[in-house]
């Protein structure tokens, strides 16, 4: 099985933009359905466009932690 990596972090929206940011993040997640590799997603123009639209809505990002799943449902 290929090594899987998860990333857990905190994204804080600019005041009043939380719902819009959530909508954009869900849109990006929907666009990843046909991709097996999340690193490859950063080269996808659809994902890059969502990132461009989301950046102004992000006040800060913090508490990033890389995770290596070892088992469980979906693996």
Query: 3 with 69: CB under 8 angstroms?
Result: no
- 4 vs 59 pLDDT, higher one: 59
Confidence at residue 1, expressed as pLDDT on a 0 to 100 scale? 57
- Exposed, middle or buried by CB within 10 Å (0-12, 13-18, 19+), for 17? middle
The string of pLDDT tens digits covering residues 52-72 is 999 999 999 999 999 898 888
23-46 pLDDT per residue, tens: 998 988 887 777 776 677 778 888
CB under 8 Å to 53, separation ≥6 — which residues? 24
Please calculate the CA angle 41-5-18 and round it to the nearest 5 degrees. Answer: 60
Residue 70 lies in a domain: no
> Residue 30 falls within a domain, yes or no?
yes
Q: Is 50 exposed, middle or buried (0-12, 13-18, 19+ CB in 10 A)?
A: buried
Look at residue 72 and tell me if it is in a domain: no
Predicted pLDDT at 37 = 67
Residue 33 lies in domain? 17-64
pLDDT of residue 43: 83
- Residue 38: its pLDDT value, please? 65
């Amino acid at each position: 099985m290929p090594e899987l990596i998860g990333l857990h972090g905190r994204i804080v929206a600019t005041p009043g933009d939380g719902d819009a940011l959530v909508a954009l993040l869900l849109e990006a997640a929907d666009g990843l359905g046909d991709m097996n590799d999340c690193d490859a997603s950063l080269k996808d123009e659809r994902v890059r466009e969502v990132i461009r639209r989301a950046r102004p809505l992000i006040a800060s990002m913090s508490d990033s932690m890389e995770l290596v799943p070892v088992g469980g449902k979906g693996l």
